[in-house]
């Protein structure tokens, strides 16, 4: 092939939507393509792959090429993806995948299955070693969907489809957000790429590096939101708000450093709310991102929910700081604010309540004489008992929390605690993994 033919081939590739997607995602002029001329038999491979920088940070990315055989996954695409994943593992850089494909090249039969299996195996090996982000901008069904949801974060555009069912059943962005498969839903591909770039800037390149630091900014409170009142201004990234309404998870910065934020909102945690937090805790732990948990929770709706969350916090060796901002009752306190294994430092607001069981039951058990009032006055009597006997001050006296802080002091208290704990080292029991 002479130079003119090579130039023509490069121009043909550069004209595809996938190439434009990838180059638009990276910093201007930083994209370097991998296997640019890889063949899929009758034409180019159905994916554009390579590396570049995002705000100066090294990143690998690929985009399924809907303009070539509908972006169908086959031998050639699998080979390029395997090379990209292996390079990401060797060099320790995140992977961002843009999914838009008609499916798999079924005519390739067992070769297709083998290629898909090898790609999924590499995705699993990368999990916890380098961050992975999936961006679904079109159709993503079957094995493609399985690969996409195996990433740490999934971004979907309106109108995109994501489903293991190749008929597209329950595949919309809204449906996937409601069940926790999609962490972000955005309007279009341009906004999706911008969100992926934003997310990359919160994440470490790999599990041995720290997340990129930023400049400290003073908080910009949003109404009564306790999180906005303590994290750096403009740094709060909302994640998976459409799933598990009893909990909130965020990435943010405090004093310029990235933290993971968990907040419970006063309800008993159902299975979705607990699983959302458990997944996030495990992600932050895998990449040594410090966790700050704001606890206001009456407990769990079932044993399974409690088991997931207690296990996630107990196994996490990253820095864990908890603040009881409302109530921490029974298993909720144990899971999220228990001193020792589940939290390194625990603080509480002056009006916080910490109790082994719900407040009314505790009052009847611990102060039966005080509860000998008409039924309509029992709630008030129980609340009075809680403020007197289940207060943050009582918990501090008994060593169940490390300190009581006013809201205006909380940011500096958390910054000091995170700084003090930054050198945390925890020896762990020799085992392959937990079974929870």
DSSP states along 300-355:
BSSHHHHHHHHHHHHH--S-EEEEEEEEEETHHHHHHH-BTTTBSEEEE-TT-EEE
| Helix (H) / strand (E) containing 271 | helix 271-286
Q: Which residues constitute the domain of residue 84?
A: 3-200
Residue 1 has pLDDT above 60, yes or no: no
CATH code for the domain of 130: 3.90.226.10
Neighbour-count burial of 427, counting CB atoms closer than 10 A to its CB (0-12 exposed, 13-18 middle, 19+ buried): exposed
Alpha helices in 36-161 (DSSP H): 75-91, 110-126, 143-149
pLDDT digits (tens, 9 = 90+) for 224-283: 789 999 999 999 999 999 999 999 999 999 999 999 999 999 889 999 999 999 999 999
Pair (181, 294) in one structural domain: no
Residue 386 has pLDDT above 80, yes or no: no
3-state secondary structure of 58: strand
Please, are residues 217 and 245 in contact by the beta-carbon 8 Å criterion? no
Pair (314, 176) in one structural domain: no
In the chain, the number of structural domains is 2
Neighbour-count burial of 365, counting CB atoms closer than 10 A to its CB (0-12 exposed, 13-18 middle, 19+ buried): exposed
Within 13 Å, how many C-alpha atoms sit on residue 410's CB side? Answer: 24
Pair (405, 330) in one structural domain: yes
pLDDT digits (tens, 9 = 90+) for 172-187: 999 999 999 999 999 9
Which of 18-32, 40-54, 191-205, 382-396 has the least mean pLDDT? 382-396
Residue count (the chain): 436
Domain membership of residue 71 (yes or no) is: yes
Residue 89 has pLDDT above 80, yes or no: yes
What is the average per-residue pLDDT within 280-296? 97
Pair (403, 280) in one structural domain: yes
Q: Which residue, of 176, 200, 224, is where some domain finishes?
A: 200
pLDDT digits (tens, 9 = 90+) for 312-322: 999 999 999 99
Pair (194, 243) in one structural domain: no
Strand partners, 58: 53
Please, are residues 200 and 27 in contact by the beta-carbon 8 Å criterion? no
Query: CA-to-CA distance for 331 and 52, rounded, in angstroms?
Result: 46
Residue 107 has pLDDT above 90, yes or no: no
The pLDDT value given to residue 260: 98
Q: Which residue, of 178, 200, 222, is where some domain finishes?
A: 200
Pair (288, 342) in one structural domain: yes
Residue for token digits 């961050």? 131
Sign of torsion over alpha carbons 393, 395, 399, 405: negative
Task: Tell me the pTM.
Answer: 0.93
């Amino acid at each position: 092939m002479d130079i003119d033919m090579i130039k023509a081939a490069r121009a043909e590739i550069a004209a595809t939507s996938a190439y434009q997607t990838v180059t638009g995602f990276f910093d201007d002029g930083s994209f370097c393509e991998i296997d640019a001329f890889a063949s899929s038999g009758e034409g180019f491979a159905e994916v554009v792959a390579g590396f570049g920088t995002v705000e100066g940070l090294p990143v690998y990315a690929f985009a399924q090429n809907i303009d070539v055989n509908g972006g169908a996954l086959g031998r050639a695409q699998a080979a390029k993806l395997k090379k990209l994943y292996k390079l990401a593992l060797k060099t320790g850089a995140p992977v961002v995948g843009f999914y838009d494909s008609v499916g798999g090249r079924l005519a390739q039969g067992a070769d297709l299955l083998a290629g898909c299996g090898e790609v999924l195996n590499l995705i699993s090996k990368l999990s916890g070693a380098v961050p992975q982000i999936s961006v679904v901008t079109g159709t993503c069904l079957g094995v493609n969907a399985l690969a996409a949801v195996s990433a740490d974060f999934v971004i979907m555009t309106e109108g995109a489809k994501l489903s293991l069912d190749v008929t597209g059943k329950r595949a919309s962005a809204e449906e996937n957000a409601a069940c926790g498969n999609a962490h972000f839903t955005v309007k279009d591909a341009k906004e999706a790429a911008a969100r992926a770039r934003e997310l990359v800037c919160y994440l470490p390149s790999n599990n041995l590096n720290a997340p990129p630091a930023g400049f400290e900014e003073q908080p910009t409170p949003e109404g009564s939101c306790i999180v906005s009142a303590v994290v750096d201004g403009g740094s709060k990234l909302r994640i998976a708000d459409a799933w598990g309404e009893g909990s909130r998870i965020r990435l943010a910065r405090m004093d310029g450093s990235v933290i993971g934020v968990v907040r419970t909102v006063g309800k008993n945690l159902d299975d979705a709310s607990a699983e959302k937090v458990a997944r996030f805790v495990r992600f932050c732990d895998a990449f040594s991102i410090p966790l700050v948990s704001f606890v206001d929770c009456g407990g769990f709706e079932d044993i399974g929910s409690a088991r997931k969350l207690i296990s996630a916090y107990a196994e996490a060796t990253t820095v864990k700081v908890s603040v009881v901002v409302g109530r921490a009752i029974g298993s909720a306190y144990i899971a999220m604010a228990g001193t020792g294994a589940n939290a390194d430092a625990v603080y509480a607001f002056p009006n916080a309540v910490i109790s082994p069981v719900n407040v009314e039951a505790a009052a009847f058990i611990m102060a039966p004489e005080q509860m000998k009032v008409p039924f309509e006055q029992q709630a008030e009597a129980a609340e009075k008992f809680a403020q007197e006997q289940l207060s943050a001050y009582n918990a501090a006296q008994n060593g169940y929390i490390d300190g009581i802080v006013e809201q205006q002091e909380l940011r500096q208290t958390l910054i000091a605690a995170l700084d003090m704990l930054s050198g945390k080292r925890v020896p762990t029991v020799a085992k392959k993994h937990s079974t929870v």
